Structure 1
């Protein structure tokens, strides 16, 4: 049997390997396949004939966004069951234990509560109506300083960028639109990114922090190194570029939703839990964040 690049297959005897995707056209002797359960395998066609899968059964979030790491980073694929075990080795009681609450959850919850108090939709609407852009900038910086998620130099760039009244106004209007606007998220995100570029504060952390901390039920925070690491570990393409862009953030949201679904047995509450999980699953890289 011949196999073409992109074919979806399963091993006829090893169910734990799950669904796979053929990575290149097979030759007469072997076929190279990426399986969700174990990563990349080269199968001898003399002994194994993978079963071709079509239709709805052939769809999987990882394979639909598959990234095979070809860089020198040395990051190897790690299945979700492996990642869950790694997470539980650090937090045996999972998302609801004391250690997780103290190291990961509590300070982000406090920042979320502060963000709702200072720039929830009702107070934000009121400040915008009275054109109190100075106060909006002040409150935004206070929310930023409530956690260690954004690097100190990036916090300083935002603070420096919000000195001029014109910058405060543009930032206030764009941030309100990002958080509470009626238009599609893509346009709101791009508009906010342009304002950050104008005030020389265009970093992924700053661009995604407010969505995440105000509404962690939907949105993910992007810290480039660890977001890339965790996505590569899971074989999930996030189309990362250093410059702010919608495709990368859209891909990160898809990756986050995939993780939320796949770790459902751990009962994650929101993207705060998922973001912490992303930090924890990479061997040797974990630190409280």
Structure 2
């Protein structure tokens, strides 16, 4: 066994002593796919890269200064269009959610509600729970043509893209499966709310603590770890 492998085994042994067997099993699964952890080239290619690219596009097209400028000019439809286009190339939303979102912001009213309240979520004053609940109410009130737009992925995807140091993305089935495997009590409800999102943030913080030695950079790394645990794409 190489010195590097011995070091990894020592780290895992320490995790066994400080955490549950399920936590260690999840860690080992992640490292089987990506031996170099969050620095692994395959990990960057498969998981982190496209999410970070979306974040960089957001910073280029909807950074705070640009967003404020568009709001002053009441370019609500332009804001909504940019946001939807930034998310579109990713696989984070299901096709029915992408369609529902495009339909919801087509009207001037829908675009205005979306643009104003998304800015408040990202940059507004006040407690996170109040801002998130108001954002949920806004998304729930957007025009609906065919498919519903008020889903956990839709209400969490833009915060995640814009501010991955703070916000995380919620895919319900995958996250519930990952939490069960991890041994974390994630209290899920189908209706988006601060209570559910707060539970996800607590799950993320626990993972960040448990994987401290792997040096996760942000919520992109944490969400990707959750995805590896719960997605059928990574069934062994």
TM-score when normalising by structure 1: 0.71
In the alignment, is residue 225 of structure 1 matched against residue 173 of structure 2?
Answer: yes
Unaligned runs of 5+ in 2: 1-13
Alignment correspondent of 1:214:
162
The structure with higher relative contact order (CA 8 Å, sep 6+) is 2
Question: Could you tell me whether the CA contact under 8 Å between 2:117 and 2:135 is conserved in 1?
Answer: yes
SS in structure 2 at match of 1:110: helix
Out of 102, 107, 126, the position equivalent to 2:69 is: 126
SS in structure 2 at match of 1:281: helix
State the shift of 1:139 in Å: 0.7
Structure with greater strand share of residues: 1
State the shift of 1:16 in Å: 8.4
Alignment correspondent of 1:161:
104
**Cα 1:146–1:120, aligned 2, differ >3 Å: closer, same or farther?**
farther
Indicate the RMSD between aligned Cα atoms, in angstroms.
Answer: 1.9
CA distance in 1, matches of 2:155, 2:83: 12
Alignment correspondent of 1:242:
190
Please list every run of at least 4 consecutive aligned residues from structure 1 whose deviation after the TM superposition is greater than 6 angstroms. Answer: none
CA distance in 2, matches of 1:267, 1:18: 19
State the shift of 1:17 in Å: 7.1
Alignment correspondent of 2:20:
37
Cα-to-partner distance string for 1:10-45 (whole Å, 9 max, x where unaligned):
xxxxx98768xxxxxxxxxxxxxxxx524xxxxxxx
Question: Could you tell me whether the CA contact under 8 Å between 1:17 and 1:37 is conserved in 2?
Answer: yes
Alignment of 1:1-289 (within 5 A): 37-38=20-21, 79-199=22-142, 200=144, 201-282=149-230, 285-287=232-234
CA distance in 2, matches of 1:17, 1:208: 33
CA distance in 1, matches of 2:51, 2:32: 22
CA distance in 2, matches of 1:236, 1:16: 16
Larger Rg: 1
State the shift of 1:229 in Å: 0.9
Cα-to-partner distance string for 1:45-76 (whole Å, 9 max, x where unaligned):
xxxxxxxxxxxxxxxxxxxxxxxxxxxxxxxx
Structure with greater helix share of residues: 2
Alignment correspondent of 1:7:
none
Question: Could you tell me whether the CA contact under 8 Å between 1:279 and 1:285 is conserved in 2?
Answer: no
* Aligned length in residues: 217
Unaligned runs of 5+ in 1: 1-14, 20-35, 39-78
**Cα 1:183–1:124, aligned 2, differ >3 Å: closer, same or farther?**
same
